[in-house]
Every structure is written in structure tokens, then in C-alpha cells.
Amino acid sequence: MTADLHVKQAGEGPAVVLLHGLFGSGSNLGAVARALQVTYTVYSVDLPNHGRSGWLQAPELPAMADTVQRWMGGAGLARAHFVGHSLGGKVAMELALRAPRRVASLTVADIAPVAYSSRHDAIFAALEAVAASPCTSRGEALARMGEYLSEDSVVQFLLSSLQRDGQGEYQWRFDVAGLKASLPSLLAAPAVGRVYTGAVLFVKGGASDYLQKQYWSAIQSFFPAATMKIMPGCGHWLHAEKPQLFNAIVSRFLASVEQAGVDGADGMNREG
């Protein structure tokens, strides 16, 4: 079973597909899309069960990757560079491992091919509080979420996916129930026994604990040509916290791949 994807296309040149994180939409990577579309054809994808895309009955990681691969076929994209943040990075990694010929390179922002424990209990409680009964204003939704979440940045990020329906009531664009049911799959490590040997760049937020040194052996087992850049002073939302630096790192990596200049050496370098 698959779902139709909402995709925004801009620019001309080699194809680059951008995949956002959990509870987001393609617009979350708008800054990097604008930076890259000068040189590349950029496809900003709303993942299944997010944004304006269709919903899978079970939005698990393999199904999401398969949906993106099927969209590529329908769009006539034989191959593309992928840039994925968080959940989008996990989807991109899964796609690279299952269909390596479709992936020209892989940029993974602040996530690793390992199993994660859930950090989303309070978020789902807040989302369910809004979804439990109709909200007639954003203020009402904000008040309900405030009972569970104290970080304003998280609340504002989630509210960007709140939409008003034809009856004037507010509801989430993403599939709260489906994503909660599928969360174990979304947090799981990739199935072993598969390798993507192409160019891969992991970009870590220096202040984030999502991408840790002890994960490097797992990264190498799946992606033997992987390298890493660390962005000091950034948390998990590194592309939003230091967009110019993030965009420069991604642009340089893609240019090196296009020029066939990647040497495949492992390493962890700091970007200032």
C-alpha cells in the first residue's frame, strides 16, 4: 500500500530530494532548498502521513521509504541526492540500503542508523489533547498543549502543522494516531545485512545527543564511505539554528560528489 506525496519542485540541475523530520513538512527545509535550487533541481517532499501528502495505513519506516521510491519512479527520477533530517534521515537511509542505485549520495542530519528510545510521550499527549475535541482557535490549541509542553520552540513548530477545516475547526495535518502506532518502527535500527557504498555525510549538532560517537561503528557497518561534520553550538534543529553553515556544508558535499571528488575516507571534522 502506498500514498500520494505532496512535493514542491524548484530549480534546475541534478536532482536533490529533501526529507523532513517527524511532525514536520517539506517547508521545514526551506532554507536549504532555496540555497540548493540555484544549482540543483530540488524536491521538497512531505513524507507520508505528514503535511499535504496522503496517509499510509501503517506509516512504518520501510513503507515510507517504499513510498518515496515509488514517487521517484512516477516522477521519472532514476537517481537523486538525498538530504534528510531526523526521521527524514532515517527514511533516506532505509531507501539507500534497499535501493542503492536510486541514491546518488546521502546527507543525514543529526540521526544515526540505530534504535532510539521514545522522547515523544509528552508531544503525543499534547497532540491528542488538541485532537480529542474541536478547537475553534489557535489560542485554544495552544492552551491545551501548554498542559504537556513547556518549550515554546517545540509548541510553535507543532502549531505550524495546525490547519483550519471547512467548519472553522482546527486539526493536525499529520496523522497523530498512525504515527503513534508506528513509532516503534520509526525509531528502530535498519535491518542488518545491507550496505550502501556511495558517498554519505552525517552532520551532527554539536550540542545534540542524537548522533553520538558510539554510533560510529553502526554507521560504518551500513555506510562504509561515511564521513561526519560537527556543527558546534547547535542542537537537533541544526539546519534552523545555523542555516548558513548547514547550507554551506551540504552544498560543498554535493559539489564534491558531482565532481567525483569524494575519497571515502572516514573522519570527524569540526566546522566553525
**Which listed residue (50, 81, 236, 239) is catalytic?**
236
Contacts of 218 (CB under 8 A, 6+ apart): 112, 113, 114, 189
Our measurement of the distance from residue 177's CA atom to the centroid of its chain's CA atoms, rounded to an integer in Å, reads: 19
**Maximal CA-CA distance, the chain:** 57
Q: Is 186 helix (H, G, I), strand (E, B) or coil?
A: helix
Looking at the DSSP assignment, which residues form a beta bridge with residue 45?
7, 19
To the query of whether residue 236 is one of the catalytic residues in this protein, the response is yes
Task: State the residue for C-alpha cell 508506528.
Answer: 182
Task: State the residue for C-alpha cell 554519505.
Answer: 200
| Neighbour-count burial of 217, counting CB atoms closer than 10 A to its CB (0-12 exposed, 13-18 middle, 19+ buried) | exposed
**Which listed residue (44, 86, 105, 182) is catalytic?**
86
Q: What are 163's three cell numbers?
A: 490547519
Q: How many CA atoms lie within 13 A of 85 on its CB side?
A: 27
Q: How many CA atoms lie within 13 A of 261 on its CB side?
A: 7
Which residues are known catalytic residues?
86, 236
